[in-house]
């Protein structure tokens, strides 16, 4: 769990130190990555192992030699090596790809602060102790007790906006005062549909913002690389993206909290989002060596964008933090009749309408899928239509929050 607060360093001295820390963290991270990439089995005799301990020792040596490195903070520089170590652990555990170099041009830069010290100035403002920069002000938007519970922090800058993200112990889930369970179908037309017929839409750009965004992208493509005007356009695009990310983040928090407070357990489908949003495979043309046939690439990237815009992954992750969540296989949830169980593709009359070919049951397609997901997760059997009223009652009685699936 982490709490993100906005940081306001003073122009000049403090800002310069924070930028320096970002630069040093990036430099040390990249240097450490290069050292690790250099290691091969044939160089085993050279040194037993390159790991955090050996690299921290090398860093100490380098700090003795180079004044500019010594001018920085050893805590920040060691933190970068620790980040690198974590990246390699994730890589070897197959949770992540091979670590990549951090670029100076990346929109987001940051560094770690260990041995966290915070103090409160007044109701709205707090201060965090950053090595070499002293006390840096931040705006308090969360409970002070939660901020104090944090053990470490990461200071970051995105498009000129400085934030501190404080790592805190996970918040205690407020258990909903109900035995009701809910099935959740994630889709593109409706980002989230629940088994009792509610629909939630993830926010996007407004029409005006969309027009502005496209115009800026066009302008960017015409501008000289490395020019000041291009940098300005990039910064403005970044601000627009940031605004959208904030808006979507708020929506996720509000929607998941609303669900967590009105149901005791939720069911979602397992969606391999990374697989689903792969780009379309190129289709080689047999008549033209080296040529390609149309492969629907544009349509697929449009769908990918829509899937990513619906924030499915983040939504499920936050929901799981807040309530008991069961994940079930997604196969045929959209084709199965939630009334009689008849499953065939013809059941889908259109994107929005579900009409069963077996029993004639009609429902909103997304709601029908959400009911299937709920029934699969909580082992509720299909009931004939005339006892539909009973079924809702029964599903609540039989609902038991089972194991939570990440
Ligand atoms: Zn049916």
CA distance 365 to 380: 19
Q: Is 336 exposed, middle or buried (0-12, 13-18, 19+ CB in 10 A)?
A: buried
357 with 346: CB under 8 angstroms? yes
Q: Residues whose CB is under 5 A from ligand 1 (ion)?
A: 337, 339-340, 342, 356, 358-359, 361
Summarised one tens digit per residue, pLDDT across range 75-85 is 999 999 999 99
Task: Summarize the confidence of residues 286-312 as an average pLDDT.
Answer: 74
Confidence of residue 301 (pLDDT cuts 50, 70, 90): confident
User: Which residues, 6+ apart, have CB-to-CB distance to 297 below 8 Å?
Assistant: 279, 280, 282
pLDDT at residue 404, as a whole number:
42
pLDDT at residue 307, as a whole number:
66
99 with 30: CB under 8 angstroms? no
CA distance 405 to 235: 39
374 C-alpha to ligand 1 centroid (Å): 17
Residue 180 vs residue 127, higher pLDDT: 127
pLDDT at residue 305, as a whole number:
72
Q: Which residues of 279-305 are buried (b: 16+ CB within 10 A; e: fewer)?
A: eeeeeeeeeeeeeeeeeeeeeeeeebe
Task: Summarize the confidence of residues 160-170 as an average pLDDT.
Answer: 87
Looking at the predicted structure, is the pLDDT value of residue 399 above 90?
Answer: no
pLDDT at residue 201, as a whole number:
87
Q: Give catalytic status of residue 65 as yes or no.
A: no
CA distance 23 to 111: 9
Helix (H) or strand (E) holding 24: helix 13-38
Q: Give catalytic status of residue 185 as yes or no.
A: yes
Q: Give catalytic status of residue 385 as yes or no.
A: no
Residue 209: φ, ψ to 5°: -65, -40
DSSP 67-86: HHHHHS-HHHHHHHHHHHHH
335 C-alpha to ligand 1 centroid (Å): 10
Lowest mean pLDDT among 26-35, 65-74, 191-200, 341-350: 341-350
- Give pairs for 117-120: CB < 8 Å, separation 24+: 118/147, 118/148, 118/150, 120/144
Confidence of residue 387 (pLDDT cuts 50, 70, 90): very low
Angle at 406 between CA 343 and CA 92, to 5 degrees: 115
Residue 7 vs residue 322, higher pLDDT: 7
Task: Summarize the confidence of residues 121-133 as an average pLDDT.
Answer: 93
190 C-alpha to ligand 1 centroid (Å): 23
Lowest mean pLDDT among 39-48, 89-98, 115-124, 375-384: 39-48
Residue 110 vs residue 305, higher pLDDT: 110
Percent over 90 (pLDDT), the chain: 39
262 with 194: CB under 8 angstroms? no
357 C-alpha to ligand 1 centroid (Å): 7
pLDDT at residue 403, as a whole number:
42
pLDDT at residue 50, as a whole number:
82
CA distance 8 to 162: 7
Summarised one tens digit per residue, pLDDT across range 195-219 is 988 998 888 889 999 999 999 999 9
Residue 208 vs residue 384, higher pLDDT: 208
267 with 376: CB under 8 angstroms? yes
């Amino acid at each position: 769990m982490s709490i993100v607060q906005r940081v306001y360093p003073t122009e000049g001295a403090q800002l310069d130190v924070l930028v320096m820390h970002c630069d040093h963290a990036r430099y040390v991270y990249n240097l450490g990555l290069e050292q690790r990439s250099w290691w091969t089995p044939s160089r085993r005799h050279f040194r037993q192992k390159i790991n955090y301990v050996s690299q921290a020792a090398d860093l100490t040596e380098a700090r003795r030699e180079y004044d500019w490195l010594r001018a920085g903070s050893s805590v920040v520089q060691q933190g970068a090596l620790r980040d690198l170590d974590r990246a390699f652990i994730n890589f070897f555990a197959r949770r992540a790809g091979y670590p990549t170099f951090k670029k100076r041009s990346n929109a987001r830069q940051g560094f770690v602060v260990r041995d966290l010290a915070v103090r409160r100035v007044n109701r709205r403002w707090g201060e965090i102790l950053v090595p070499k920069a002293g006390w840096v002000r931040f705006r308090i938007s969360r409970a002070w007790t939660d901020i104090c519970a944090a053990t470490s922090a990461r200071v970051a800058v995105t498009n000129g906006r400085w934030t501190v993200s404080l790592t805190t112990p996970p918040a205690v889930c407020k258990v909903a005062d109900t035995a009701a369970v809910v099935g959740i179908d994630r889709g593109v037309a409706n980002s989230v549909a629940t088994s009792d017929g509610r629909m939630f839409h993830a926010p996007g750009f407004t029409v005006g913002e969309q027009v502005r965004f496209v115009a800026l992208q066009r302008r960017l493509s015409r501008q000289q690389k490395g020019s000041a005007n291009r940098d300005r356009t990039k910064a403005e695009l970044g601000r627009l993206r940031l605004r959208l990310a904030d808006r979507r983040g708020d929506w996720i928090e509000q929607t998941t909290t609303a669900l967590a407070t009105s149901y005791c357990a939720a069911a979602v489908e397992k969606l391999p989002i990374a697989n689903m949003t792969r780009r379309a495979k190129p289709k080689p043309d047999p008549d033209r060596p080296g040529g390609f046939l149309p492969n629907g690439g544009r349509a697929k990237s449009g769908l990918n964008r829509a899937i990513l815009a619906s924030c499915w992954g983040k939504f499920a992750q936050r929901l799981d933090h807040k309530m008991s969540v069961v994940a079930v296989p997604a196969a045929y949830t959209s084709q199965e009749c939630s009334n009689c169980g008849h499953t065939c593709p013809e059941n889908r009359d259109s994107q929005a309408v579900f009409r069963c070919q077996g029993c004639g049951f009609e429902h909103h397609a997304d709601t029908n899928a959400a009911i299937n997901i709920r029934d699969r997760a909580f082992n509720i059997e299909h009931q004939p239509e005339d006892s539909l009223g009973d079924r809702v009652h029964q599903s609540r009685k039989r609902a038991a929050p089972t194991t939570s699936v990440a």
